[in-house]
Amino acid sequence: MVSKPWGCAVLPPPFAAPAGEQIGEVWFEPDPAHGELLVKYIFTSEALSVQVHPSDAQTLAGGLGRQGKEECWLVIAAQPGAKLGIGFSEEIGEEAMRAAALDGSIEDLLEWFPVAPGDFFYIPANTVHAIGAGISLIEVQQNSDITYRLYDYGRPRELHLREGMAVARGGPHDPALRCKVPAHGSVTLVDGPLFRLDRLDGAPDAATAARYGGAVLIIPLDAPMTIDGETIAPGECGLAPSLDAVVFSQLCLIAQPA
């Protein structure tokens, strides 16, 4: 559990925040052999910073190794009026973006999407984004901690305008990268180029199973499952050596590097 200034003192079940702490994230640390993806739950009582992440190509060119970060979000709970800011409503150039970050108007230039449970968004590297208040979501991401904050509502945290402006894209979010996940049924959410993610309703069909050879992350959503006889409950994340090791129940996410 990771404390954040924008986190929550009261978390939705099955989570419980330690007394006196505002928990913003729950991380499932990958083991070294399967460290390419990181799974998080995120809980917000206030808006997160306006931020951007670099791509693998950009971090490699900068001598940082492969540290790019693409991510995706599945909303699991949202208070009335909750929203996500992803990309800009209109094209914006670097200098205008920098000026907006400095005076705080960048928040108003983002395109804000009202959200409800089941809303899904893929966030490519270089996309300027912010998570609003009153949201619980599951994030699956490349395992990188490089975040360039552009604006943080006056909180006393470091901003990274030089680095952020070097990678930020000043355009709208592609509508093809967002969808409403139905309450029932299996659906492919991400199919490369960096990772795969499916929401399953019970055991995968043959075509889905064929795409997921080798170790797979399992994230139960509404009922416990077992991996080689070990129970993995909602609110947890398990690593299965293969899909054959999993006894599926109802809804879950499965993820794997591409």
Question: Which residues, other chains included, contact 240 with Cβ-Cβ below 8 Å and sequence gap of 6+?
Answer: 215, 216, 217, 218, 227, 228, 246
Q: What does the alpha-carbon distance between residue 74 and residue 179 come to, in Å, rounded to a whole number?
A: 10
- Helix, strand, coil content of the chain in percent (nearest 5): 15, 40, 45
Residue listed under structure tokens 């070294």: 32
**DSSP result, 49-112:** PEEE---HHHHHHTTS-S----EEEEEEEE-TT-EEEEEESS---HHHHHHHHHHSTHHHHEEE
Q: Which two tokens stand for residue 3?
A: 């404390």
Catalytic site residue from 149, 178, 196, 199? 149
In angstroms, how far is CA 145 from the centroid of its own chain? 12
Q: Is 10 exposed, middle or buried (0-12, 13-18, 19+ CB in 10 A)?
A: exposed
The reply to whether 149 belongs to the active site is yes
Residue positions annotated with a catalytic role: 149
